[in-house]
Amino acid sequence: MLTSYRLAAIDLDETLIAKDGSVPPRNAEAVARLRQAGVLCVIASGRMHQATLRFAEALDLMSPIISYNGAMIRDRATDEIWRHVTVPPDLASEIVRFCADNGYHLNYYLDDHLYVAEVGEWAMLYHRHTGSKMEPVGDLTRLEGTRPTKMILIDRPAEADRLYEVMSQRYGGRLYITRTNPEYLEFMAAGCDKGVALRELADRLQVPREQTLAFGDGGNDLPMIQWAGFSVAVASGKEAVRRAASWIAPPCDADGFAVAVDAILDGRIG
């Protein structure tokens, strides 16, 4: 069935993919149905670009990929980078030194490679979650002067919550700071988010806003949920995301993404 929608931005973790990191068959079939209906399906993830590719391959997607919470758009068909906004070196250095001085683990993403000071418990937690390879460098201050795409401070959820308030006050307007997993506090350049990236991609592809879809669950999905012409939040998502969405689908573990796609293509919503 054809639809008036032409572009769909789809979050990965706990929206399209299950908590175990797999793509449920019903969700994979839903992506295929969207494509058959003429919708360009775009992964929109907080993950680094390299960590999205296995899902693009599994879903047979050659479309552009939004990664790093919107800091990068990279065309999978040509590998051309359409958007790449990096953290200024002085601000990156401040975050690195803050983490080093206070004993916090930090992931440092540079040129689509992941660097850490050492592979400790928090690095292993991240690896179990994403499967991303990382390179220990002993001291991240060795990377001073570089422009990372993103940084993630990883700690206990309560501490990550506390630091979100502290760092938001300190860097508000200078960095985009968001929460994804309970243990993660993520830093990108100001002006980077999934909503900005979706808008830029839609403009480039000459797709009107009202013909865009967005599917998500987390705080980092909120900007694209707010911007898209029609947006879906899974019921297991954050309250703010559910409030902003056009429609609330069943939880991720009940294939909420596929339920929403069925309803859109059947004309019951949207």
Q: CATH for 7-84+192-265?
A: 3.40.50.1000
Confidence class of residue 112 from pLDDT cuts 50, 70 and 90?
very high
| C-alpha dihedral, 226 to 232 to 236 to 240, nearest 10° | 20
Three-state DSSP at 17 gives strand
Domain ranges of the chain: 7-84+192-265, 89-189
**Identical fold, 7-84+192-265 and 89-189:** no
d(CA 107, CA 151): 5
Three-state DSSP at 144 gives coil
Q: How far is CA 67 from CA 2, 44, 53, 81, 198, in A?
A: 28, 6, 10, 11, 11
Instruction: Note the pLDDT of residue 176.
Output: 97
Instruction: Note the pLDDT of residue 224.
Output: 99
CB of 111 within 8 A of CB of 147?
A: no
d(CA 85, CA 205): 19
Sheet holding 40-43, edge to edge: 40-43, 7-10, 212-216, 230-234, 247-249
Task: Report the chain's terminal Cα–Cα distance, integer Å.
Answer: 14
DSSP E strands in 88-149: the ranges are 105-110, 113-116, 135-136
The answer on pLDDT for 2 being more than 90 is no
Q: What is the tens place of the pLDDT at every residue in 24-83?
A: 999 999 999 999 999 999 999 999 999 999 999 999 999 999 999 999 999 999 999 999
- Look up residue 250 and give its DSSP letter: P
Instruction: Note the pLDDT of residue 118.
Output: 97
CB of 216 within 8 A of CB of 224?
A: yes
Please report how the helices 256-265 and 25-36 are oriented relative to each other, as an axis angle in degrees rounded to 10.
30
Q: What is the tens place of the pLDDT at every residue in 222-255?
A: 999 999 999 999 999 999 999 999 999 999 999 9
Average pLDDT over residues 12-16: 97
Q: What is the tens place of the pLDDT at every residue in 176-228?
A: 999 999 999 999 999 999 999 999 999 999 999 999 999 999 999 999 999 99
Q: Supply 146's token pair.
A: 């570089």
d(CA 204, CA 189): 21
Q: What is the tens place of the pLDDT at every residue in 156-171?
A: 999 999 999 999 999 9
The answer on pLDDT for 1 being more than 70 is no
Average pLDDT over residues 98-112: 98
The CATH architecture one would assign to domain 89-189 is 2-Layer Sandwich (3.30)
Quick check: pTM over 0.75? yes
